[in-house]
Structure 1
């Protein structure tokens, strides 16, 4: 190695570097067990786990698959993979055995770590897959038997391990997409992607070393890692983790732990605002909250802002970010309907069907670019070429830029429909319908119509005494006539996919035949 040539020993050593700077600062509070870990303790755990990975061949690009709820071991495995050069692939415990089998074949892990509640599901998946990983069980229920127990196999030695030189272009995480159509794709998240997203988040959102944040996304989702977990750990802040996302427990944690930052999907924020402890919970420590994973209704934003919490909307996806936008200082209140302006190291543009940039105010597809982008889809060159293109990520989302440079998301490109020659964007209609006092949640889909080709149908969770005539009268003058739904249907509870995101495909499959 010549002078000036980087060794990149720092690239994967998340816990070692922070422990050398902030050894006694609290890194993780595991609310499930009531345990807390300093950065020094976290690094010792990572060193023990790195020795476990080395003993099982998870080095230099080899994979370890993980199926678990949010617990300290997921952080251990992430940090240990950074130290050994391994790649962590968290898998959703919500997937069916055939889907898990396909992902296991794609990932081809050396090691598979499973929390007890999901052992049976993974047994079926492994039986279907042509892979033979070493399997270890994180014991939380009665052990299944036949597999090693994770804690028993974990070495006791927490002393520093030999450093591993990694490039910013090497993979660190494989995160699968939502999987709303077919088996999810595995997205290759490099060390550089992770570091640059953390840098964007810290600089655009103003994260601080004294920030305390509940982590309410699952660990198999990009939200579980890149929204707050890794940016907070990079800053030396404190992360609160819990097994399940219970709105009442999150409220309790905000008050008891003095949380300063909260990011959650709209469904969680809505449920928290309707919880019986909402009015009595002290939210004064929260510097800000953000909604991500889908459009946030105005009623939810207002409920939080009435409690003195600065709630705004974020935007991102597994393939890039996911933290791409931020609200500027002293923004006008009405701009809260937008996702803000691009973060410091993000390029954004809106293009037409031919890929040419459109004028300000026009709606087109949002494309993003920056050093925080993923490297592509693992083992899928065709899909990589289609989505990642020539330096720009095609998001599949429609958006526009207003006269002040704020970006507004208008919905998924595939969800837009044409009614009588006019484009209808469901989020706009849903916002208007959601203002009706009888509506708790709504999804608008396009359905066939003999006269107009396609019309809207509002699928509502709420008071089933609401009639389509009452809804039409309520919307008259609020939105254009061609946007007003022509039909109405009800569900007891909206189906969800991924991290509590509304499952539009499931709704369209059940209600999309006709008006």
Structure 2
């Protein structure tokens, strides 16, 4: 703990305690899987029990608890309880392979590990991969049938919880103390653990509330996994800050998501493009009452114009956002009354965010493409036990995002893809995101990734990897290139074409570009 921690700084971790005092009877959490509803008073009582459990296992004053689970109330309890004890919550992806999970567990070195029963076998395998990990394990029963028949060779979380739910003594925290360890997407190698401080959580919440105009009566169906920054910082914590309601579920289902918006009066929705597209393709789309939705954002990758138009046709002002685990993640907002021709932009910087586009450390001219860098009090503190990567990303005083961007004459920022994805064809820079956006306008294309391959004449050329729109036949490369004539410079046209039944994903339903490159690129 910081030696400067005192007085008014105590509040940064006491989210459930403060909300229980302000709005005790308002629903803070709804579990759509079981139908259970929890007021803020309920959540605080649960957090008090969980805080006592954490202290029994040494999860206080910087001690760590890791959790491998789908979205469920117990994960929320751990978030609020670590705020009370001064512990650090490290949610880990249940989608990781045992060796990857083992490496992260060894790095996090938790005093307590909480595991939902469907993932116990993988976690045991992960722990076997480590050399020195010695931690207590508690099992959380799935409650929806998942993992039935699993060998639950661990004490259960429910039976281990102390009975008293009265207030506990809370830690005195500094804003610089860590609250979350959130790992990056991990499309290249084992993910890095990003250190998110209480200051970062609070300032991202403030940026989100002020930029998006969140209200105390807002309701959101939260579709991001809680092992991802999207599960906490995109919308969950900002809504709790305001006293709103967050709806969670174990699994994503587009029809169920539409039902929740309709029946719960969902007013805020943030999702990745794939989720937004699946909702519009669902049979319930046309009959669902969406009139309660007033904030709708797409994040985690470019959203196709055709998807956005489908939402606009229903009167929903869907726009794109941009974020990353290392900063925010909510960094931009669309100005009020933004014109539709700016739909491919992510907007202008939020209230307490500075942004710039640079090349070799110097700002580029308006309209030129360079690396996007961000600065904000909601930036992460760095990477856990990784000083070299921390220096590379945070060392300049700006967060180097690794994303290419440009700023137009009206101050709107446009993301042009990852810096590492750029390739050179015949001496010309080719930005795959630009090519993919053009290809996505072809009616037969549901998703597209462009990867570079070697070419004797041009050095490198693009290969378009396409997931077809359901029920549409495959097309030829010549047909695609003919469609692109007049839309893209010829040197940007793909020279090769491949089809996949379904794009591989990484993280919260984001397309795994690395997996596509490994299969189709060179």
Task: Report the TM range for the smaller structure's normalisation.
Answer: over 0.9
Contact 2:118 2:150 in 1 (8 A): no
Structure 2 counterparts to residues 23-38 of structure 1, below 5 A: 23-38=24-39
Tell me how large the CA RMSD over aligned residues is: 1.4
CA distance 1:52–1:131, shift in 2 (3 Å) = same
How far apart in 1 are the matches of 2:335 and 2:357? 20
Confirm or deny that 1:194 pairs with 2:201: yes
Shift of 1:144: 2.8
> CA offset at residue 97 of structure 1?
0.7
Other structure's SS at 1:315 match: coil
Q: Say whether residues 1:378 and 2:384 are aligned partners.
A: yes
1:249-271 Cα offsets, whole Å, 9 max, x none, are: 10111111110000000110011
Aligned residue for 2:449, secondary structure, equals: strand
Hey, what's the Cα distance between the residues in 1 that align with 2:431 and 2:336? Answer: 29
Q: Which piece of structure 1 moves more, 140-149 or 180-189?
A: 140-149
Which residue pairs with 2:232 in the alignment?
225
- What is aligned with 2:479? 470
* Contact kept? 1:436, 1:474, Cα under 8 Å: yes
Matches within 5 A, 1:133-144: 133-140=135-142, 141-142=148-149, 144=151
Deviation at 1:336, TM superposition (A): 1.7
Task: Please state how far the C-alpha of 1:118 moved relative to its aligned partner.
Answer: 0.1
Contact persistence 2:183–2:194 (CA under 8 A) = yes
Shift of 1:7: 4.7
Task: Choose the corresponding residue for 1:327, options 323, 329, 334.
Answer: 334
Aligned to 1:73: 74
Please, what TM-score do these two structures have when normalized by structure 2? 0.96
SS in 2 for 1:440: strand
2:133 pairs with one of 131, 134, 142: 131
Q: What CA deviation, in whole Å up to 9, does each residue of 1:411-452 have, x standing for no partner?
A: 000111111111111111111111111111111111111111
Residue 53 (structure 1) aligns with: 54
Mapping for residues 282-431 of structure 1, pairs under 5 Å: 282-352=289-359, 354-431=360-437
Secondary structure at 1:252 match in 2 = helix
Taking the aligned partners of 1:36 and 1:142, their CA distance within structure 2 comes to 28
User: Structure 2: which 5+ runs fail to align?
Assistant: 143-147
Give me the whole-angstrom Cα distance separating, in 1, the residues matched to 2:307 and 2:384. Answer: 37
Per-residue displacement from partner, 1:20-52 (whole Å, max 9, x unpaired)? 110111100100110000001110000010000
The 3-state SS of whatever aligns with 2:9 is: coil
Distance 1:142 1:44, change over 3 A: farther
1:509 to 506, 513, 518: 518
- Matched residue of 2:168: which SS? coil
User: Once the two structures are superposed, what CA deviation does each residue of 1:343-391 show, in whole Å capped at 9, x if it has no partner?
Assistant: 0000100000x21111111100000011000000011111100111121
Between the aligned partners of 1:34 and 1:287, the Cα distance in structure 2 is 24
Aligned 8 A contact 1:464 1:490 in 2: no
Q: Alpha-carbon deviation of 1:487?
A: 1.2
User: Partner of 1:237 in structure 2?
Assistant: 244
Q: Distance in 2 between matches of 1:174 and 1:302?
A: 37
**Residue 440 of structure 2: aligned partner:** 434
SS at match of 2:11: coil
1:325-352: CA deviation from partner (whole Å, max 9, x where unpaired):
0011111111121000000000100000
Residues 116 and 142 in structure 1, CA contact (< 8 A), matched pair in contact too: no
Rounded to whole Å, the distance in 2 between the matches of 1:355 and 1:464 is 47
Q: Report the alpha carbon displacement of residue 142 of structure 1 after superposing the two structures with TM.
A: 4.5
Gap regions ≥5 residues in structure 1 = none
In 2: Cα distance, 1:351 partner to 1:143 partner: 52
CA distance in 1, matches of 2:431, 2:345: 15
Instruction: Give the distance between the partners of 1:5 and 1:143, measured in 2 at CA.
Output: 46
Choose from 152, 155, 158 the match for 2:165.
158
Deviation by residue 1:119-172 (Cα, 9 ceiling, x = unmatched): 000011112221111100001244634311000001111110012100000000
> 1:465: Cα distance to partner?
2.7
**Equivalent pair of 1:137/1:143 in contact (CA under 8 Å):** no
Aligned residues: 511
Give, in whole Å, the separation in 2 of the partners of 1:444 and 1:300: 20
Contact 2:358 2:373 in 1 (8 A): yes
SS at match of 2:258: helix
Contact kept in structure 2, 1:7 and 1:165, CA below 8 Å = no
